[in-house]
Amino acid sequence: MSLTPNDIANKEFKKVFRGYDIDEVDDFLEQIVEEYERLYKENINLKEKINALNEKIEHYSNIESTLQNTLVLAQSAAEQAKENSKKEAEMILNNAKERSEQMIKEAEMKANQLIAEAQQKVLEINKEYEMLKQEFNMFKSRFIGLLQAQLETVNKFE
């Protein structure tokens, strides 16, 4: 059974002859109520912060997953572009023997350009992924530090 600040504030004791000083007991109970209420509110705030931080962690996990999927798609697109460029170069070679050298050079340049662009995109996505991963790790470390600090604070009051 957990106590609330109201439980403490409304607690009444039997009055006996030669008992404790009523004013002194009331003052002490009032101090307990104030401190307990402060801790109770702090606990509620900490729970709300934990929930908010858990939501952020889930959000960043979703972003990480999306970035990983995007990276796979970009790599697949680069491979497909490379394959398409090679097929195009082969068709040109078979259909136009007299212009084969020039067309092969053009196809290779186009393929290299597409590959270079795809590789650049992959590098950019990898860089963005690493940055988000670092931000997530920093956030996670700060969150853990915050939780540990809050736990130490709560433990001091026990």
Q: How does pLDDT run across 103-140, given as a tens digit for each residue?
A: 678 888 998 999 989 899 999 999 999 999 999 999 99
134's tokens: 């670092």
pTM: 0.40
Question: Which letter does DSSP use for residue 99 in this model?
Answer: T
Sketch the domain layout of the chain as residue ranges. 5-156
- Torsion, Cα 96 101 106 109, to 10 degrees, reads 140
Element (H, E) at 70: helix 22-95
